[in-house]
Structure 1
Amino acid sequence: MESFEALCQAPFHLESLFPATGGFIEGRFCETIGNISCCLPCPLADWRYADNTARRVDVAGWISVAMLPLCLFLLISYAVLPAKWTNRHYLTICFTLGICCMEIAFIIPLGAKPDQCYNAITPNDMYSNLSCAFSGSMLLFGGWMVVIWSFIRTIAFHVQVCWEVVIGPKFMWGSFLCGFGIPAIGITVMLIFTGVSFRFGEICHINIKHGEQDYWYPIVAFAAAALIVQLATMAYCIHVYLRSLFDKSASTTENSSGLPSYTSSVRTQTARQAYRRVKRVLQLQWRGVTMVVVIIANVIFFAVVFIDLDREIAPTPANLKKAEPWLACLLMGGTREQCKEFASALGPNEATLLAMIYLLSLVGFWNFIVFARPSMLAGWLDLWRRGFSKRDEYISADANSRYPDNKGFEMLTTSTAKTPDPYMRSPSPNRMMGRTSVTSPSPTFDRSIHYGQEARYVRPSMSFSGPRPPSAQDWDPSRSFAQSHT
């Protein structure tokens, strides 16, 4: 074998000595020299980048170890605590589930310690290494989940702000169908036609062949659509805000309740009223908007870096010609550090790849910072004090004898006391007929109903009507448009 290896200058290996029996054959980096094919040793990243690159990539796994408990804390809080403490929503829950999948993908290699190479020149793939199959699938499925649920959240925010549509059960079930169905279809197509393999570090990534068509282009399309919708929504918010600054109509300056004035149509909204409505929605949705912007920025950055990496390392004639100075340096006995300057033309540099992987593992941190609420800690403290016992949150006052003052809420009474009862009670029919004198057509707003004492009428703050005594004079049909029957 050594005589055959001599045909390829070290550190290269003769490709014919390693038959295509397993591993990711297309992941070999070989060049034909004369009549023979010589390949660089596996893994290729160890020759393209510095010696300690693999250890730096492992840092992303330990970051995920710290971030996963934060995501699990949010999920457990959503499941255990009442909604008044967490303000949970299915958009937030499903989004957090996608991030958990990505964090688990980085943690798997820390425990499995997979071998990146099937043999000296061939990297392992999802068929030859179980850890590769799980880590790559979880990473890509989590990426699909995060992007799709970001897109759904953006659509929900847009229709509420711009179209004043309240999302309901139909939108929820449609979100579940798209939020889980599209990632499931996407990951199935990707695993069948493309697959994953070891390319950079101990976590598997999508392969080069058909990778752009099966994964990156659809992901970028949904991210770009979410970005466009988000920008359109924010532009509308800015437009409403600017209109409110120049709105001087009396209906908005005199009426601070945000409701249409009494003289205007119910459907008419001024600029300031629209601004108050948009402001309330923004106050409720700012967390989701912030997280969507972070995810979209990260996805676009990841896609640009990986697409550039795929195109630069693909075994095409143009890339092999570009790599000739680097390969010639290695053939002449140069070390990886000595030939590093020639390898800079092949794909993104080490700092860019490490930044991408670290940002990917830190998504869980931003999710916790945005969606965690101080009220969650108060909810857990309340749960601890109650000893995980169920509290009677909704109880009828007259149905529980533990409340001493429940008699004040009785609907009927048999009391015959002459002293007026301080509690409001419904009189019996006999007492209504015996002690009530009605002098107004509307008993609801009548001030002359005598039941123990005079019931004083209090005008509601937003009422535009009031009790009016009957007219003192007879009705004259000649003063109106009504026809006289006399």
Structure 2
Amino acid sequence: MTSSDLQGLCPTPFLQESSFPVTGGFVPGRFCMPISELQNLTCCLPCPTTQWTYSDGFDDRTEIANWVNVAALLLSCYLILSFLVLPVKYTHRHYLSVCLTLGVLFMELAFIVPLAAKPDQCFNDITPNDMQTSGVCAISGAFLLFGGWAVVIWVFCRALALHLQICWEVIPGNKFFYGALAFGWIVPIVGLTLTLSLTGVSFRFGDVCHINHKNALQAFWGPLLAFAALAMVLQFITIGYCIHVYVKSLLDDSTSTNNSSQAPTYSGSFRTLTAKQTMRRVKRVIQLQWRGAFIVVVIIAEVVFFAVVFVSMDNSSQVNEQLLEKASPWLACLVAEGGDKNKCLSYAKDLVKPEGVVLAVLIVLGLSGFWCLVFLGRWSMTEGWREFFRARLHRKNEFVSADARHLSNDPRTYEMLSGTGPQVDIRSPDRALSPNPRAFTTPEPDAKQDSFGSTRTYVNPLSSYSYPRAPSQQMDWNARVAQAMKGDGKGFDSEIYPG
């Protein structure tokens, strides 16, 4: 069909809706209006609608957010690889940090998939694509929703863990670990399933699919903002408690707590701690957890900013009588100017959010990866990677004896020779060989000749300390004594060796 056939009886630049039967795409995403003069005629703006409400090149500028997410993805991958490969002394990794970074990574993939696939936003000239007619839309929308859920849930878990440690002196253990893992991943999966089944995603603005308007508040935005608000409340309570403890420690002039070396006088309850002792405990926790506290505040601020802007844009884009009445000057301008949108942008600015705000929302989402590296990464990771590659590229040779190269089949040559120290014959490890045989040769009974030809007579010792006896007793070691030691098979014979 030609453009004139598609336009039908509608004025330029509108297209007649009856020329586009419903065969697919997101039909509620059409911007259509009935013509009052002809009640059976409905005219629609060409897809995508954003090309009529924003200046030229808007879609190209939204790709800036995609490239920001590419850089953020590289940083997130670096962080994840550091957690997986490097020792914990370089990364100080924690499952809360690892899972939060994974959630951010999923959200970044939502912007990278369209950048690589270059999807078509429109199913036909007036209908945008949705997750049922575009695989790229389904994948990018699923990544965005799942990543958003995961980020908020793991931020909530981190805020809860910090609150328990500081305010209640409860160290999260194995129960919290397994509970957080189950809660942190099951909730996003369930949330994604409900959102896609009840609401779905479609191309709203840019190349990334966003959640549709129907049931969006009940299925996605409401629960998501509830967890974000709860995390923020926990964080504010924790901060307020820290301020309270600090002020109380300043007012505490008790001499019993001025000495930091004095042990606290409490038994099993932190409530008996004095103000300064409590302040020292809180200070230690904050020194270890300040990065997690900051990233909780930053991520929640991003989520709230995105939710407020997007919900406002979603509500303002729903075609109804109020919107058509508000948009009548802009629509009349488009008809009068023959479809020249640039001359009518001044009328459209009250209908949509400013372009700068929309771009800021998309870019802020991409900055989540940068915040993860700033607050969860450490400079010691660089040293860890340096040691990692140094250990593999510059392996040290194993120690090899200089005499090992001259080994032969003669077992008498299996020796380690030294110019000054004793020479050990590995054929008889109990025997030491030395230029000084009297110093290093172990004598044998019955005056046997040693390996150097010298002869030494075995002298029966006058005293032996191998058995308990009175210090004044002197006994010779003879066969009778040896037989007595074998008497009962358990030790010395008390009848022969009294005392």
TM-score (norm 1): 0.78
Residue pairs, 1:447-486, within 5 angstroms: none
The aligned amino acid for 1:327 is L
Q: 1:231 aligns with which of 229, 236, 239?
A: 236
* Partner Cα distance (1:114, 1:434) in 2: 100
Query: What amino acid does structure 2 have at the position aligned with 1:294?
Result: V
Counterpart of 1:367 in structure 2: which amino acid? C
The correspondence for 1:221, drawn from 219, 226, 230, is 226
Q: Give the Cα–Cα distance (whole angstroms) in 1 for the partners of residues 100 and 390 of structure 2.
A: 31
Query: What's 2:491 paired with?
Result: none
Q: Counterpart of 2:202 in 1: which secondary structure?
A: strand
Match of 2:104 among 85, 99, 107: 99
2:26 aligned residue: 24
Structure 2 CA distance for partners of 1:433 and 1:325, relative to 1, 3 Å: farther
Determine whether 1:279 maps to 2:279. Answer: no
Segments of structure 2 that go 5 or more residues without pairing to the other structure are 397-464, 472-499
C-alpha deviation, 1:6, in angstroms: 4.0
**1:74 and 2:76 equivalent?**
no
Instruction: Report the count of equivalent residues.
Output: 395
**Residue number among 18, 34, 58 corresponding to 2:63 in the alignment:** 58
In the TM superposition, residue 238 of structure 1 has moved relative to its aligned partner by 0.2
| Cα gap change, 1:177 to 1:266, in 2 (>3 Å) | closer
Residues 433, 8 of structure 1: alpha-carbon distance in 2 compared, 3 angstrom cutoff: farther
Report if the CA contact (8 A) 1:101-1:141 is conserved: yes
Contact 1:258 1:273 in 2 (8 A): no
Structure-to-structure mapping, 1:384-423, within 5 angstroms: 384-387=389-392
Q: Residue 15 of structure 2 corresponds to which residue in structure 1?
A: 13
Note if 1:290 corresponds to 2:294: yes
**What SS class does the counterpart of residue 323 from structure 1 fall into?**
helix
Q: What is the CA–CA distance in structure 1 between the aligned matches of 2:192 and 2:469, rounded to whole Å? A: 76
CA distance in 2, matches of 1:187, 1:72: 23
- Counterpart among 263, 272, 275 of residue 259 in structure 1: 263
Instruction: Give distance in 2, aligned partners of 1:58 and 1:430.
Output: 88
Give the whole-Å Cα distance in 2 for the aligned partners of 1:432 and 1:150: 71
Asked whether the equivalents of residues 6 and 15 of structure 2 are also in contact (C-alpha less than 8 Å), the reply is no
| Amino acid across the alignment from 1:355 | A
**Secondary structure at 2:34's aligned position in 1?**
strand
How far has the Cα of 1:210 moved from its partner? 1.2
1:327 aligns with 2:331: yes
Q: What's the TM-score, normalizing by structure 2?
A: 0.76
| Alignment counterpart, residue 301 of structure 1, candidates 302, 305, 321 | 305
**How much does 1:434 deviate?**
8.5
Percentage of pairs with the same residue: 50
**Partners of 2:303 and 2:109 in 1: CA distance:** 18
Q: What is the aligned counterpart of 1:165 among 165, 170, 191?
A: 170
Q: Is the 8 A contact 1:259 1:273 kept in 2?
A: no
- The corresponding residue for 1:370 is 375
In structure 2, give the amino acid aligned to 1:286.
Answer: W
* Residue 14 to residue 432, structure 1, CA distance change in 2 (3 Å): farther
Q: Determine the C-alpha separation between the residues in 1 that align with 2:470 and 2:17.
A: 111
Q: Distance in 2 between matches of 1:303 and 1:6?
A: 39
Matches of 1:145 and 1:431 in 2, distance apart?
73
Could you say what the CA RMSD is over the residues aligned between the two structures, in angstroms? 2.2
Q: Deviations over 1:75-97 (max 9, x none)?
A: 11111111111111000000000
Q: Does residue 147 of structure 1 match 2:147?
A: no
Amino acid at match of 1:303: A
In structure 2, distance between residues paired with 1:119 and 1:258: 77
Give the residue type in structure 2 aligned to 1:86.
T
Q: How far off is 1:259 after superposition?
A: 2.5
Which of residues 88, 94, 108 in structure 2 aligns to 1:89?
94
Q: In the aligned structure 1, how far is the partner of 2:69 from the partner of 2:284?
A: 35
Cα gap change, 1:4 to 1:352, in 2 (>3 Å) = closer
